[in-house]
Amino acid sequence: MDYLDELESKSIYIIREAYVQFRKIAVLWSIGKDSTTLLWLVRKAFYDQIPFPVMHIDTSFKFKEIYEYRDSKAKEWGLKLLIARNEAALADGMGPKKSKLDCCTELKTNALKMAIDKHKFKALLLGIRRDEHGIRAKERVFSPRNQDFEWDYKNQPPELWDQYKSRQSDEDHIRVHPMLHWTELDIWEYVRREKIPIVPLYFAKNGMRLRSIGCETCCNPVESQADTTDKIVEELKTTHTAERAGRAQDKESAYIMQKLRSLGYM
Partner 1 sequence: MGEHLRFVIVGHVDHGKSTLIGRLFYDTDSLPEEKLEEIRKTCEELGRDIEFGFVMDHLEEERTQGITIDTAQTFFKTAKRHYVIIDAPGHKEFIKNMVTGASQAEAALLIVDANEGVQEQTKRHAYILGMLGLDQVIVVLNKMDQVEYSQKRFEEVKKDILTFLTSLGITPTFVIPICAKDGDNVAKRSTNMPWYKGLTVLEGLDTFKILEPDLMKPLRFPIQDVYKIKDKRILVGRVEAGRVHQGDSIVFLPQGTKSTVKSVEILWSDRTEAGAGECIGITLADPLFIERGSVGCPADDKPVVTSSIKANVFWMSKRPYVAGDDIHLRLATQEMPVNITVEKKINSSTLEDISEKPDEVRETEVAQMMIQMKQPIVVDDFNRIQELGRFVLVRDLDVVAGGIITHTQH
Smallest gap from residue 15 Cβ to partner 1 (A): 9
Smallest gap from residue 66 Cβ to partner 1 (A): 25
Smallest gap from residue 4 Cβ to partner 1 (A): 7
Q: For the beta carbon of residue 161, count every other beta carbon within 10 angstroms.
A: 5
Cβ contact 211:202 at 8 Å: yes
Residues near partner 1 (CB under 8 A) are 1-6, 9, 12-13, 16-17, 19-20, 43-49, 130-131, 133-135, 137-138, 140, 153-154, 156-161, 163-168, 180-181, 183, 189, 239-242, 245, 254-255, 258
Nearer residue to partner 1 within complex by CB, 49 or 206: 49
**Which of 189, 264, 170, 196 has the alpha carbon at shortest distance from 231?**
189
Nearer residue to partner 1 within complex by CB, 9 or 72: 9
Smallest gap from residue 108 Cβ to partner 1 (A): 21
**Which of 77, 74, 85, 123 has the alpha carbon at shortest distance from 107?**
85
Nearer residue to partner 1 within complex by CB, 194 or 227: 194
| Burial (Cβ within 10 Å: 0-12, 13-18, ≥19) of residue 137 | exposed
Smallest gap from residue 135 Cβ to partner 1 (A): 5
**Which of 17, 67, 6 has the alpha carbon at shortest distance from 42?**
17
Nearer residue to partner 1 within complex by CB, 172 or 189: 189
Q: Where are the beta strands (DSSP E) in the chain?
A: 25-28, 54-57, 81-84, 123-125, 142-146, 171-176, 208-209, 222-223
Nearer residue to partner 1 within complex by CB, 95 or 197: 197
